[in-house]
Structure 1
Amino acid sequence: MKTPPELATSRLILNECVLADAQAVFSLFANDKVTQFYDLAAFETLEAARELIKQDAVKHQQQLMLRWAIRDKITQQFLGGCGVNHFEPQRHVAVIGYELMPQAWGHGLATEALQAVVDYLFTKYRHAINRIEAFVMQGNIGSEKVLKKLGFKCEGVLRQHSYWKNQYHDLSLFSLLKHEYLQQE
């Protein structure tokens, strides 16, 4: 079974999320602060975390997504997850997402992890990806700041674009084009 390639930054390791991470994944997604702007309800059971890890592995094998666990480089502590939530090969687009434990917020770790993902995507898939997108629920100022630091531009608000937690949500669409990324180097 092929696993996501390991990526390293100055403070982080991005690698495969495995069933041994189930307790940490449960802690992440059982936290209302984390799921406030997320398209799923807070986890209530450890089994929900195990199922998510299994589903992500299957989707990776089907080349529908590419997700990493975010870990502290020294301690290997699980800090969150990030990666490609889905590919749209016909449009040459990858849609990214990420989530971090609240204790990891405010230290630049999301920016660092996503920079590694963006670098990987525009290098490894340079002929297949021209655009990286991220959808941000209105009010999620922290995520907007992270994306702007990475050079993403807000293209506008998609009104009532998605439905979860029994209501419609407006989402801001952010994107980074390959030529914009190359100009940053």
Structure 2
Amino acid sequence: MKFPELETSRLILNKLSRDDSLALLAIFSDKNVVKFYDIEAYKTEAQSLALIDFFNSRFAENMGIRWAIRLKDSGKLIGTCGFNSWNPKMKNAGLGYELSSFYWGLGYASEAISKIIELAFSVDTPFHELYRIQGDTMIGNIASESILKKLGFKEEGIRRASGFWKGEFHDLKCFGLIKPEFIEI
């Protein structure tokens, strides 16, 4: 299956390549970006290369997909977004994304995520037709909650001690979006 390339008014969404390793390292080495992630800030290019390989292997194995988020005018990598996992039988997927902190608050994350959701909910989707998309946030990640709500996700509750990383348990807020509720931005 060919990796789907998408375009918005300001962004190109395409496959990550190993040439993106330094740009991805810059994003994932920012402690503000990984504050609510289940990883520590990256220190080496080898870590970003491994992440690129992981994201691309998920697509090759038909288990998920992660797009590079690039500025249309320059091609600069500013983040990634995609479906970390999907369940074709249940027609659902888990959403994941991050953006360089230099580009926070400019609407790029919402723009990119809206585009991939539009594809996921379309009849002509190149992978699995989805009916439900779930996004989880750590308690306190107001910016991520804001993005999900802007895209029509509904807060469905808190899963207590649902995650364990950085030496402690974390409660996660669960947000869900079903196909009939999606409104393109």
Identity in percent: 40
> Structure 1 regions of 5+ residues with no counterpart?
none
Shift in Å at residue 3 of structure 1? 4.8
Q: Which amino acid aligns with 2:50?
A: E
Instruction: Give aligned pairs, total.
Output: 182
Matches for 1:11-90 after TM superposition, within 5 Å: 11-90=10-89
Q: Which amino acid aligns with 1:102?
A: S
Shift in Å at residue 56 of structure 1? 1.3
Which whole-Å CA distance do the structure 1 matches of 2:159 and 2:90 have between them?
A: 19
Query: For residues 111-151 of structure 1, what are the alpha-carbon distances to aligned partners after superposition, in whole Å with 9 as ceiling and x for unaligned?
Result: 00000011010014497311011011111000000010100
Match of 1:175 in 2: 176
Q: Which amino acid aligns with 2:118?
A: D
Secondary structure in 1 aligned to 2:68?
A: strand
Alpha-carbon contact 2:120-2:129 (below 8 Å) kept: no
Query: For residues 67-124 of structure 1, what are the alpha-carbon distances to aligned partners after superposition, in whole Å with 9 as ceiling and x for unaligned?
Result: 0000000111110000001002232111111000001100011100000011010014
Match of 2:156 in 1: 155
Query: For residues 27-86 of structure 1, what are the alpha-carbon distances to aligned partners after superposition, in whole Å with 9 as ceiling and x for unaligned?
Result: 111110000001111111110000111111111100111100000001111100000010
Secondary structure in 2 aligned to 1:34?
A: coil
Which whole-Å CA distance do the structure 1 matches of 2:148 and 2:58 have between them?
A: 25
Matched, 1:120 2:133: no
> Structure 2 regions of 5+ residues with no counterpart?
none
Select the structure that is richer in helix: 1
Moved over 2 A (4+): 124-128
Alpha-carbon contact 1:3-1:16 (below 8 Å) kept: no
Q: Provide the TM-score with structure 2 as the length reference.
A: 0.94
Which whole-Å CA distance do the structure 1 matches of 2:2 and 2:73 have between them?
A: 22
RMSD: 1.4
Q: Provide the TM-score with structure 1 as the length reference.
A: 0.94
